Chain A
Amino acid sequence: SQQGEEDPQALSIQEGENATMNCSYKTSINNLQWYRQNSGRGLVHLILIRSNEREKHSGRLRVTLDTSKKSSSLLITASRAADTASYFCATEETSGSRLTFGEGTQLTVNP
């Protein structure tokens, strides 16, 4: 079964607005990663946050991690039409050496 579950499944916003996506998981993790997938393409790594970190920034991206609630959020500020893509969270469990991906959030940014 999937370790991570994203919420919402789909999100449609206007250019310039902020987009927030959430990820929940079930077991203890070493780290949580966010990836982006443009239609018909491979996944691209966005950001990695370790279990002992609470927040991380990269450009217009802000990721938070709450290990007590087993949840993470990805915030994209001042969104652009080019941000339209699917966003996936992936967790690396403490018991394993591989990533488990969620089902993704489809983000549409309307110009």
Chain B
Amino acid sequence: NAGVTQTPKFQVLKTGQSMTLQCAQDMNHNSMYWYRQDPGMGLRLIYYSASEGTTDKGEVPNGYNVSRLNKREFSLRLESAAPSQTSVYFCATAWGPITYEQYFGPGTRLTVT
């Protein structure tokens, strides 16, 4: 089992370009999350999907959109990248939205110039 996979691993964008970060899981988990981690900081929640067919904003949703494509896949889209979006992005999954541990992917390191 691959667990939680993220693509791409690295990406460099120019300001104004768009891209989609992909996350897939084979754990049959219901809940999926997108976080960003900036140097020396903890994780901040961008968007989450408590179950298939639902998505909700987290702490820092501006500049991002998400799609829960099916139970396995949850994508994060940057429509017009800005240097402030330079970060490491992590996808995570959990059995449910409440009182369950989260399983993290390896991350996508994004640089916006």
Q: Which chain A residues numbered 75 to 93 have a C-beta less than 8 Å away from chain B?
A: 88, 92
Q: Is the CB of B101 within 8 A of A42?
A: no
Q: Is the CB of B101 within 8 A of A102?
A: no
Q: Is the CB of A42 within 8 A of B90?
A: yes
How many A residues are at the interface, by size bracket?
20 to 34
How many B residues are at the interface, by size bracket?
20 to 34
Q: Which chain B residues numbered 87 to 105 have a C-beta less than 8 Å away from chain A?
A: 90, 92, 97-99, 101-105
Q: Is the CB of A2 within 8 A of B42?
A: yes
Q: Is the CB of A103 within 8 A of B40?
A: yes
How many inter-chain residue pairs (CB < 8 Å) link A and B? 55
1/0 contact trace for B15-55 toward A, CB 8 Å?
00000000000000000010100001111110010100000
Q: Does more than half of chain A's interface fall in helix, strand or loop, or is it mixed?
A: strand
Q: Is the CB of B99 within 8 A of A30?
A: yes
Interface residue ranges, B against A (CB under 8 Å): 4, 33, 35, 40-45, 48, 50, 58-59, 90, 92, 97-99, 101-107
Interface residue ranges, A against B (CB under 8 Å): 2, 4, 30-31, 33, 40-45, 48, 50, 88, 92, 97-104
